Every structure is written in C-alpha cells, then in structure tokens.
Amino acid sequence: MIMSDSLTKFLIALVLRHKYFFLFPAVVIEGPVVTMASGFFVSLHILNPWFALPIIVVADVTGDVLYYAIGWFGNNWTVTRWIVKKLNVDKVKNHAGAAFERHGGKILLFGKLTHVFGVVFLVGAGYVKMSLAKFIKYNALGTVIKSSALMGVGYFVGAAYEIYGKDFETGTFAAAAVSLGAIATLLYYAPHVFKKMISLGNDIDM
C-alpha cells in the first residue's frame, strides 16, 4: 500500500514507542516499510525477531485477505460495478478464472515476491472466487520469504549504524544501493522465470 511519508513516519514511531502492540496494524497499513523498520529495530535490540516476524506475516496476510474480500464482494458495490463495466473486466473473467484455477499459486507468489501488480492479483483472486484456503496458503508462503528478506535489509542497515556510527550515511547509501540492485535484478528476471514456471507447470494442477 502506498502511503504518505508523514503517515509512514507516524506508524514507525508508534511501533518504536509501543513495539508489538502497534506492529500488527502498522504492517496491515504499510507493510514493506514497517517491516524494514522492524528489521532495523531488531538490530538495535528493540524488537525480538522471533516475536516480530510472526506478527508481521500474519498482519501482511490479513491485509492481503482484505484485498481478496474487495474482489470477492466488489460486485455488490456500486463503485466497483462501475469500474468493472468501464474496464470490460467481465470479458476476461473466464480467462482470469482459468488462469487462477490452474496457476493461482504461481500468480500469487509472482505478485508477492516481485511486488509487480500485487494488488491487482490479490483483488483478482477474490473476483474469480479463488479458494480462500489456497489463497492464504500461497500468500503466507510468499509473505514469509518477502518479510524475512525485508527485515534482513533493515537489519543490515541497523548493523551498519552500530558498526560505522559517523559513517552511517555512507553505510546506508551502500545498503540502499545493494538493495536497489537486488530488486532491479529480481524485476528483470522475474517475468522470464514466471513464464518458465507457467511453461513447466502446464501439466501440473496447483
């Protein structure tokens, strides 16, 4: 979810002050940034990773289910009916349903791990009435991987702060550069990997 900078700072400040009590709602509202901030706090021994990570995973999946619910129940809302009509979504519903039926797990993992069209896939899964159990299973798997990686980035930045002190800005820049490079590489190769997965999975019903 894209939030304003002031709201993001406010959520992080709440987590810093109240720790686990506000961690769950903060992640539901602004998952990736709060997750990285949590990794930073773990490196400074403010949060315990064994408590923080499970809360983050459950909160992130809860946010995903909310998007799923929008897709599932959206046909009953005037605004969403208008959007569906304007975008001619009904014309591709059968194709989308078949795609989610056969490759739903791969689609959700692709959206979760690359953050490409993630919200579209989440809402789409609800719209085509994908099984909720299957939806949660694959999103939970992707969330564990993604949240662990984001916490790792935050932890790395926090560790740089502890080690380098005055040179923290340099360390932060280096961490950001490495992270952006990794993300760029992932985004470049993800579509190719995804197509390969679909090709190899043609005879596998997920």
Closest CA to 49 of 40, 60, 62, 61: 40
- Rounded mean pLDDT, 121-146: 90
- pLDDT, the chain, mean: 75
Q: pTM of the full predicted structure? A: 0.73
Question: Any residues with CB less than 8 A from the CB of 129 and at least 6 apart, and which?
Answer: 72, 97
Q: Quick one: what percent of the chain has pLDDT higher than 90?
A: 22
pLDDT value at residue 90: 58
pLDDT digits (tens, 9 = 90+) for 134-178: 999 999 999 999 999 999 988 888 777 666 554 545 555 555 555
Closest CA to 143 of 21, 34, 31: 31
Give Cα 73 distance to the centre of its chain.
Answer: 22
C-alpha span between 178 and 175 (Å, rounded): 5
Instruction: List the domain boundaries for the chain.
Output: 5-200
pLDDT digits (tens, 9 = 90+) for 53-65: 999 999 999 999 9
pLDDT value at residue 51: 94
Instruction: Give the Å distances, CA to CA, from 60 to 31, 107, 141, 156, 182.
Output: 6, 17, 11, 22, 22
C-alpha span between 69 and 136 (Å, rounded): 12
